[in-house]
Structure 1
């Protein structure tokens, strides 16, 4: 069957389906692959000038707030590590225990509880109100950390931070999926997630600057000032979101979008068969339970979480401190090189995925490099410079999150509740699994080698599994399920 035949059959099937079930999406149309496409392009070939203006507005307002919010999220997620190695541990008498690991654990517990429900709420409460409100709330708890004197106080506040921060990643990924086409998603998701990497990097630079210039000011240690400055940076971002975040195409009241742009925003998604369908009722549970996307993508994100790649900058920091070769300022600054690698891979992988229209090969390639890095860390007894290189190149891990999020937005089509819940569920399940794994396999008391707990070898197993699952299994399952869907539509049409 040729491309023309497929297009005719798909269009006819869609018309019949709309007549019988007007509330359901038509099957996705086959994209036009005949136009020449440059490797690096921001707009799809053939995009009109008016639509380019719409996309630019979305990039400026929707993407800018998304990046700023995620920047603050990761700034606040990383500040405890930077404070821990910059005097907090010594000042509070934490010693060689695993207090830092427990701070991460309580934070993950908050994420575990909050993520699925936060993203269902966003289908009811407008994102413009919900996301900035969560940002403001977790920032208040961050501010409270500057007064902490015991590990227990940190645990409580970190849990509350995790609870409200859980809305950020899945909520923003859900909103991006409401506005952008499949072919635009990977690049925008990459820019969004890379802002979190910049947040991690900036936290190190900020703590280094505070350590040098703010220690003792106002009677406070430099590490306490870090939490105060993080709060002050979050306030204008929350205000910006309340004013400029555009909600979703069907509900937007953004003053910077005219009537044509609002209508066109809805049409762009409808043309891909992703018009929002379904509602938040008891059928949600059934739709989610029987969907193949629920299991395939949850497993993928769980495997990514179990690589503990999101903590690799923390482990690199502890490694540098353990060598005794670097100053406190260097210990805070050098790990930010991981963020630079992360930046390159997130942006590059997004362009490649959008260009080839597939994410599996990209995941396979990045996973192979990550496997090489984990092999070096597993062997461990290698030259210092090789260990440094392995830690830094581990920064490639971060591109999995925007790739998987864009994949979910594409695969779930117009079922907004399933798409929202799944993005939250992925975060929640990943957090639930990484809590015991990170606690027992990577306790901070065993850092940086983790020899007794076999931390690096066990993480290597999950890196290999992640590579094979996302590079081979997920594409095969998706191709099979989409073929079945097309066959069902053709059978209904012929019948």
Structure 2
């Protein structure tokens, strides 16, 4: 039993409970190593103290936390494009970096050795596992297209738009069955939920190999996607609870690289399997791929998940993290103003109207829905357009088609890494999102024209994965918007994902009909429009993000005022003391 994950009951660095209504609110764990590391973190203890200034506004000040006092009278118009202007104060942002790769670990020189080890472990365990998980799902999803061009179409007598309709039916299964996770996600441990769903995914992936008819295949794909409904929102929910805002894009990039790796793997595996196993024991090559995918890829990934998914810092089940590292993760979340969980008894009923008012009654939800919906529908290779174009060329054999199908996704690795790592390196997501949208619209414009040289057409197809290159940046934006309330975060994540994915369930049937193969002019026009909106909408999201962070500037360590309009806030003199480093700290006598 010692090898099974269990809830880690760990006394925190601080304790907010009052004994006999006494004024003592803080008790420090008497651990030398912990005391040392918290000094290096400079924010070891967060004690929230309620006080009032002249306007009776509630102040929540953190002990041992550096506050930046910022006069905005000379603020320039171009500061609008400074994404983290109100999210990170100068104490955090002004750290000099050493080696170029240290952007992966911001403020590396200020972090304690224990915190650095925590980040290394998180990367090796959480980020790498979600890469594996996404790879597993992507192999099977991509294999559907590869199977179609490798004999499944003929064996199951698929014709007309059967290919795109089957994909739509599968997507409907995912949309419907992810809705229960609005309730499940904040209440039950992810290391149980996600692997159990993966076991169902594995079984119905295995079932696809024995499909004897199109109707049977559609039933299997529907149920399979129903079991796969959780892995996108749950994985993003977990990642957002462990990483700081300028660490997250790079880690979500690893998750997304798993999807691209699955696309590449599926094409190459299908090619080898078709050559080596087609007809062996009377089983077609495309059936062997589903069989191998289920037994050799999906099943091991599901089993591993029971042991490596750690939950969230406040409710941790990890076998790999020490008590000290869990405490540091909780401290990091307090520093970054991230709330990762609340006790079950404090969760509201899902049908409580106040939850839905907070979700649907805010501009944030609708802004992010438009953003995510455009992200889902700007992909220039929806409906297997590239693979079907290859198949239409009589010079390419089935094996060659499967091999070449991996090319765009292989380049996609570079595109995703460029945008995601660049976003964390320069602490600026929006510019890479706009750049990716521009490249995607160029690709779609060429394919709309179609009557171009073969080299130009190849160039356009090889750019198609710019349409998804900035997805990690998008998900990082969503995570940061929703970091304040775990229950609202769960409901909003699922709602955004469901609404966006539902558009992906019906739009492709209208604009990517299989009978238009291989040109798909309407599909590329649609992708160009969604891609252009996506690029322009980035500035709308940036506006709402900056507005949201300005409202929460004090919690982010930034005290804002304008000396032309108002005096320095009274609480700065009364409750804070300026230190030698030029930052303000809460008075010890408060």
TM-score when normalising by structure 2: 0.76
Q: Mind listing any 5+ residue stretches in structure 2 that lack a counterpart?
A: 1-44, 66-85, 562-568, 572-590
1:40 corresponds to: 101
2:254 corresponds to: 191
Q: Specify whether residues 128 and 309 from structure 1 end up closer, same or farther in structure 2 by C-alpha distance, changes over 3 A only.
A: farther
Q: Specify whether residues 30 and 208 from structure 1 end up closer, same or farther in structure 2 by C-alpha distance, changes over 3 A only.
A: same
CA RMSD of aligned residues (A): 2.7
Q: How does 1:96-115 map to 2 (within 5 A)?
A: 97-115=160-178
> How far 1:188 sits from its partner (Å)?
0.4
Larger Rg: 2
The whole-number CA distance in structure 1 between the counterparts of 2:299 and 2:128 is 15
The whole-number CA distance in structure 1 between the counterparts of 2:348 and 2:517 is 45
> How far 1:400 sits from its partner (Å)?
2.6
Tell me, yes or no, if structure 1 residue 457 matches structure 2 residue 525. yes
Tell me, yes or no, if structure 1 residue 418 matches structure 2 residue 479. no
> How far 1:316 sits from its partner (Å)?
0.5
> How far 1:315 sits from its partner (Å)?
1.1
> How far 1:477 sits from its partner (Å)?
2.1
Q: Specify whether residues 399 and 115 from structure 1 end up closer, same or farther in structure 2 by C-alpha distance, changes over 3 A only.
A: farther
Q: Specify whether residues 177 and 340 from structure 1 end up closer, same or farther in structure 2 by C-alpha distance, changes over 3 A only.
A: same
Tell me, yes or no, if structure 1 residue 62 matches structure 2 residue 126. yes
- Higher mean C-alpha deviation, range 168-177 or range 57-66: 57-66
Is the contact made by 2:186 and 2:341 (CA closer than 8 Å) also made in structure 1?
no
- Higher mean C-alpha deviation, range 39-48 or range 164-173: 39-48
The number of residue pairs the alignment matches comes to: 478
Q: Specify whether residues 12 and 157 from structure 1 end up closer, same or farther in structure 2 by C-alpha distance, changes over 3 A only.
A: closer
The whole-number CA distance in structure 2 between the counterparts of 1:21 and 1:99 is 60
Q: How does 1:474-493 map to 2 (within 5 A)?
A: 474-486=541-553
The whole-number CA distance in structure 2 between the counterparts of 1:40 and 1:457 is 39
Q: Specify whether residues 33 and 439 from structure 1 end up closer, same or farther in structure 2 by C-alpha distance, changes over 3 A only.
A: same
1:172 corresponds to: 235
Among 260, 277, 293, the alignment partner of 2:324 is: 260
The whole-number CA distance in structure 1 between the counterparts of 2:136 and 2:119 is 24
Among 325, 331, 345, the alignment partner of 2:401 is: 331
Is the contact made by 2:379 and 2:464 (CA closer than 8 Å) also made in structure 1?
no
Is the contact made by 1:92 and 1:150 (CA closer than 8 Å) also made in structure 2?
yes
1:359 corresponds to: 429
The whole-number CA distance in structure 1 between the counterparts of 2:242 and 2:149 is 41
TM-score when normalising by structure 1: 0.90
> How far 1:129 sits from its partner (Å)?
0.6
Tell me, yes or no, if structure 1 residue 51 matches structure 2 residue 118. no
Q: Specify whether residues 300 and 13 from structure 1 end up closer, same or farther in structure 2 by C-alpha distance, changes over 3 A only.
A: farther
Q: Mind listing any 5+ residue stretches in structure 1 that lack a counterpart?
A: 1-10
> How far 1:300 sits from its partner (Å)?
0.4
The whole-number CA distance in structure 2 between the counterparts of 1:12 and 1:166 is 37
Among 178, 181, 190, the alignment partner of 1:127 is: 190
The whole-number CA distance in structure 1 between the counterparts of 2:553 and 2:122 is 32
Q: How does 1:428-443 map to 2 (within 5 A)?
A: 428-443=498-513
- Higher mean C-alpha deviation, range 280-289 or range 69-78: 280-289
Is the contact made by 1:138 and 1:161 (CA closer than 8 Å) also made in structure 2?
yes
Q: Specify whether residues 367 and 13 from structure 1 end up closer, same or farther in structure 2 by C-alpha distance, changes over 3 A only.
A: farther
Q: Structure 1, residues 234-268: CA drift from partner, whole Å, max 9, x if none?
A: 11111111012211111113222111111111111
- Higher mean C-alpha deviation, range 38-47 or range 361-370: 38-47
2:515 corresponds to: 445
The whole-number CA distance in structure 2 between the counterparts of 1:86 and 1:72 is 20
Among 452, 455, 476, the alignment partner of 1:382 is: 452
Q: Structure 1, residues 323-375: CA drift from partner, whole Å, max 9, x if none?
A: 22211111111121111221112122122111222211111111111111111
Q: Structure 1, residues 70-123: CA drift from partner, whole Å, max 9, x if none?
A: 11111111111111100111122224x111101110111112212343354121
Is the contact made by 1:305 and 1:434 (CA closer than 8 Å) also made in structure 2?
yes
Query: Per the alignment, in what secondary structure is the counterpart of residue 190 of structure 1?
Result: helix
Q: Structure 1, residues 176-196: CA drift from partner, whole Å, max 9, x if none?
A: 011111111000000111111
The whole-number CA distance in structure 2 between the counterparts of 1:295 and 1:401 is 18
Q: How does 1:180-329 map to 2 (within 5 A)?
A: 180-232=243-295, 233-276=297-340, 279-281=347-349, 282=352, 283-309=354-380, 311=382, 314-329=384-399
Is the contact made by 1:128 and 1:247 (CA closer than 8 Å) also made in structure 2?
yes
> How far 1:274 sits from its partner (Å)?
1.0
> How far 1:215 sits from its partner (Å)?
0.8
Q: How does 1:83-102 map to 2 (within 5 A)?
A: 83-95=147-159, 97-102=160-165
Q: Specify whether residues 138 and 389 from structure 1 end up closer, same or farther in structure 2 by C-alpha distance, changes over 3 A only.
A: same
The whole-number CA distance in structure 1 between the counterparts of 2:381 and 2:450 is 20
